[in-house]
Every structure is written in structure tokens, then in C-alpha cells.
Amino acid sequence: GESVGLHLPTLSVQEGDNSIINCAYSNSASDYFIWYKQESGKGPQFIIDIRSNMDKRQGQRVTVLLNKTVKHLSLQIAATQPGDSAVYFCAEKAGGGFNAGGTSYGKLTFGQGTILTVHP
């Protein structure tokens, strides 16, 4: 029978290699982007974020690159470890404005995710 469900892109790497996970976003008005990691049976875990006024941001072993011209986001993981194996999601948020209370409207739009498998 026909399978159902999302067919996620996959990336397999050897331990110690660098990984690059890509994401194309859709809304040119999005001004905030986040990468999340989701391990099996757990909720999405924040990795790194970037605002649209930046094109690169570095964290510990991770770097996010933003190319607004082509609406592309990437996550680079240095020296990938088996514990990095998970599904990685990019998420975008359009500004949405602020109300009198000073909070932004928070809808995040998630990409479909990429499965990263790290082989020892």
C-alpha cells in the first residue's frame, strides 16, 4: 500500500565530520529564525537563533547562516557527534507587530525537518 506521512530529507555523516543542514523558508517578511533539534520522544530543543539583520551567528559547535536574498537558512554543526543524531527543524517568525502590552505575536512556522544520523 501507499505510505503516508512526511518524507523527511536525511543526512548521514561520520562522527567527527562537519554537518550542514539546509532550510528554505517561504515568507520574505520573516525576521526571526530558529533552529530546533528534536530527539525521538522529546520536544523540540532550542539550538540557535538569528535575526534578519544578521547573516551569520555562531554558538558552541553550531553556526547559522542566513541568506535573505534567496530565503535560505543553514545550520552547520562542527565535529558532529552521535548525540547530535536527531531531527532538525528550522522555524521562521514574521514580525507580527506588538500590542500595547509589548509582546509580539508568536506564531512559528516550521520547516518539515531533516533527519541527521551520525555514525560512530
Partner 1 sequence: DSGVTQTPKHLITATGQRVTLRCSPRSGDLSVYWYQQSLDQGLQFLIQYYNGEERAKGNILERFSAQQFPDLHSELNLSSLELGDSALYFCASSVALSGRYQETQYFGPGTRLLVL
Burial class (CB in 10 A: 0-12, 13-18, 19+), 29: exposed
Spatial neighbors of 16 by CB under 8 A, at least 6 apart, are 79, 80
Asked whether the CA dihedral 69, 10, 45, 112 is positive or negative, the reply is positive
Binding pattern for the stretch 59-98 against partner 1, x by CB under 8 A and - elsewhere? ------------------------------x---x-xx-x
Instruction: Pick the binder of partner 1 from 13, 15, 31, 72 (CB under 8 A).
Output: 31
Determine if 103 is a binding residue for partner 1 (CB under 8 A): yes
Residues in contact with partner 1 by CB under 8 A are 4-6, 31-32, 34, 36, 42-46, 49, 51, 89, 93, 95-96, 98-99, 101-113
